[in-house]
Chains A and B, each alone.
Chain A
Amino acid sequence: MKGSLVLFLILGLGIIASGLGVALLRNLFHSVLALALVLILTSALYLTLQAEFVAMVQILLYTGGVVTLVVFAIMLTQKLAGSKLTQMSRSVFKGFVISAAMASLIIYLILKYQKPTTPQAFPQELTYSLAQLLLNEFVFPFEILTLALLAALIGALVLAREEN
């Protein structure tokens, strides 16, 4: 019990620190690296909650896919624009006040209303139950997601295609 708490604290503080890095670092490339760190640490957090499948998907999709895409986007834009991109964080103070207020509200609500519970073991393997849900109860939203993806794909083509 103690060990998992220590692990949670380490991961949580790591996520907060690298999250601040994403928002505050001047160099855009560094802030993407901090984003990758946030995502990896979150997937470690999933592992401690017995959600192996979600952790793997998180690494594959976000760290492997999204971060790589963002890095490419930065590289290409810098090449096209011919100047180094820097991040401007103008409203640091306002942002800090709002997020501090939100965080203290959530902490207050959790402390006041939520009794700590010991995590329950899942009845069967989590990946198995996830697949069951996705292909039975939630198969319809799962299938119509393709429509959203198709629309996004065609939309991206329309916006990116060069016209003469």
Chain B
Amino acid sequence: MKIFYLEILVLALAFLIFVVDLVFKKQRANLIPWVVSVGLFFILGLSFIYKPQGSFFSGAAVSDSLALFFKKLFLMAGFISSLGVFSFAPERFSKRQMEYFFLLLVSLSGMMLVSGAKELIFLFVSFEIMSFPLYVLAGFLKKEAFSVEAALKFFLLGTVSSALILYGFSFVYGMTGSTYLDKINTAAGNLSGLFYLGISLILAGFCFKIAAVPFHMWVPDTYQGAPTPFVAFLSVAPKAAGFVVLLRLFWEGFLPAQNFWRPQMILLSALSMIVGNLLALPQKNIKRLLAYSGIAHIGYALLGLLVVTHYGISMLLFYLAIYLFANMGAFLIVELVYRTQKSDELEAYAGLAQRSPLVALCLLLFLLSLGGIPFLAGFWAKLYIFLAAAQQKLWGLVFLGAVLSVVALFYYLKIARVMYIQAPLTAERLVNNKAILISIILTVIPLLIFGLYPKPLVELVNQIARQFLP
């Protein structure tokens, strides 16, 4: 059981806040966010110290360096987003705080479980443990019509895609006779027909979850309607969970069939880059703009997945880590601006540099990192992904990605222009919220450090990738 100690601690924290909510009825206004943040910080610290390796239930679940890497990412996302809701929760739904954090922690434990899953049934169950709470959290502001719409769209498409995945699993199991990925791998070499149909269905289902084009329809509406501190979490952590599942399935299970699934992934990656970047251009609402830019980033990350070398995997891991920090940070600032001006439209950001220079600078850094400007971590992430693709002679995709990165800069800098050049509509400063500011600074620091000195992270991800391919 010891390979699951992190998940067990997260669940223990979830049940602890149940008790805290019952015992401290009066003081609970700020108590629960405190307990969750401190608890997650402690668990995150532990994950760096104690790293058990091994497998469980005849290889159904493993704790390898890949799983541990993703567990750390999820814990970081959980910690940062719990800081982000610090005063949001007591203000907007003071009586339902316990439920909010409970669901968040259960979802977190599901993600951590799925990162070590190497057996289809276990993988599916833990993926659903992650998904159920997310549907509810998206609709947590249930009095607002937008939030309800967001949750409903997310729920309907989420369940349909789960059904697709199960349908695909049933074909794969039927053709290989096993639900264990390593056994599927040995059987996959001389199969075709229905096995391939299963792979395609699974790929389509998980592309709904990670929001790759053409399975992206729910993303802009859901991001726009759901509570922003939650969107900061939703836009990165479940996406990373989707990618770890794709890595396990397609690299450890279906690798012998790579000639079949690689062209499909190339198509998905190209479509995501094109549609995401082009549809982000005309957006006036910053949450929708970030949603479309997120779709484009999924396209870039898929590029790392389909490069069938260990270099591709390591660059995918690097990309996901950097994307996590930049995207979460940007959404947290959106929340900060919304609290002051009750608006997510671009006009609300007019003259932000004069009103709150530090916050404006942070948002600029996030946007430049997402856009891939040199000496921020996002630059290395994009460069490495392109290098990995170029090694495999995928020149078309590299060219497409590079051209679209320039297009992306246009809409990222559009926000920067509004912040720095336009005159402010009000002289009002942004609300001073310490918890959100701390979480924003926590996301800026890695971008700056890994932008100037990416070597430690690169070495770490290379080491992890070598366990797949020498």
Contacts and interface: CB of A to CB of B under 8 A. Distances in A.
Given A105-B197, A109-B194, A158-B96, A144 B103 contact: no
A114 interface: yes
Contacts of A109: 193-194, 197
A150 B107 CA distance: 12
B61 A152 contact: no
Residue from A138, A141, A150, A156 with most neighbouring chain B CB atoms (10 Å): A141
A148 interface: yes
B113 A144 contact: yes
Interface residues of A, number: 26
B345 interface: no
29 contacts: A106-B197, A109-B193, A109-B197, A113-B194, A114-B194, A137-B58, A138-B121, A140-B56, A140-B60, A141-B122, A141-B125, A141-B126, A144-B113, A144-B126, A145-B125, A147-B109, A147-B129, A148-B110, A148-B125, A148-B129, A148-B132, A151-B133, A151-B136, A152-B132, A155-B133, A155-B136, A156-B136, A159-B142, A163-B95
A36 B115 CA distance: 38
Contacts of A147: 11, 106, 109-110, 129
Contacts of A139: 57
Interface of B: 11, 56-58, 60-61, 95-96, 99, 102-103, 106-107, 109-110, 113, 119, 121-122, 125-126, 128-129, 132-133, 135-136, 139-140, 142, 192-194, 197
B122 A151 contact: no
Given A140-B57, A147-B110, A155-B99, 6 more contacts: A109-B194, A110-B194, A140-B60, A141-B122, A151-B103, A155-B103
A135 to B, nearest CB: 12
B125 A144 contact: yes
Contact of A137 (B57, B99, B103, B194): B57
B198 to A, nearest CB: 10
Given A105-B197, A151-B129, A158 B140 contact: yes
A112 interface: yes
Contact of A141 (B121, B132, B140, B142): B121
A150 B197 CA distance: 34
Residue from A112, A145, A154 with most neighbouring chain B CB atoms (10 Å): A154
A140 B179 CA distance: 14
A110 B126 CA distance: 31
- Lowest 4 A-B CB distances belong to which pairs? A113-B193, A155-B136, A141-B125, A141-B122
A109 B260 CA distance: 15
Contact of A154 (B57, B99, B119): B99
Interface of B is mostly: helix
A141 B119 CA distance: 10
B384 to A, nearest CB: 36
Contacts of B11: 147
A110 B121 CA distance: 25
A151 B193 CA distance: 38
Contacts of B129: 144, 147-148, 151
Interface in A105-139: 105-106, 109-110, 112-114, 137-139
Contacts of A110: 193-194
Contacts of B60: 137, 140-141
Residue from B58, B102, B122, B132 with most neighbouring chain A CB atoms (10 Å): B132
Nearest to A157: B99
A159 B135 CA distance: 11
A148 B129 CA distance: 5
Nearest to A144: B125
Nearest to B148: A159
Contacts of A156: 136
A140 B59 CA distance: 12
B417 to A, nearest CB: 41
